[in-house]
Amino acid sequence: MIDHDGFRPNVGIILSNRERRLFWGRRIGQNAWQFPQGGIRSDETPEQAMFRELQEEVGLDHHQVTILGSTRGWLRYHLPKRYIRRHCGPTCIGQKQVWFMLRVDCDEDAFQLDLSDKPEFDAWRWVRYWQPLTEVVYFKRHVYLQALEELAPSLYPEGAPARELRQQPRQSAGNALLRQRRG
């Protein structure tokens, strides 16, 4: 299902554990990491799609999580031109997503990445809140930032942790390069 602007409706899922670390999944057969996400079918609400995708990609049911929050509206990203398939209609230029913040209320042994016929992930780990911004594919980065900023109060009512992780790698790499040139 593609909307009249060329965006595919989608849900994004941010899972948090008791320590407020986030589930970070590695796409099967790739060195690419992301949050669970998936398309919304024409007969589904975003919440129904989120629970279906959660079951398909992570193996968790609705009774194993608590919804802490969701984005107020759609967050959009454009696909790079090389990923746009123009010869199969309708043309999809990107995704519009409703994001959900969930708390995991079960043990980690309940996670099952291989329940669907086409698993999305072959590994996962818990990461600090802002770490996904340093690892997600570049064209999704601004949507991840928007989702994490908007949903931070649902996980951190006292105030989200500083975003030093997002900026630190670039600064340290640049500083190391400067030191090499001077040395």
Q: CB of 146 within 8 A of CB of 75?
A: yes
Q: Tokens at residue 76, please? A: 């959009």
Q: Tokens at residue 137, please? A: 């594919």
Could you tell me the pLDDT band of residue 69, with boundaries at 50, 70 and 90?
A: very high
pLDDT in tens, 114-131: 999 999 999 999 999 999
Contacts of 93 (CB under 8 A, 6+ apart): 5, 6, 7, 78, 79, 84
Q: CB of 14 within 8 A of CB of 102?
A: yes
Q: Tokens at residue 21, please? A: 């670390």
pTM of the model: 0.86
CA distance 80 to 67: 32
pLDDT in tens, 25-61: 999 999 999 999 999 999 999 999 999 999 999 999 9
CA distance 110 to 128: 21
Q: CB of 52 within 8 A of CB of 24?
A: no
How big is the CA angle at 60 (ends 57 and 61), to the nearest 5 degrees?
125
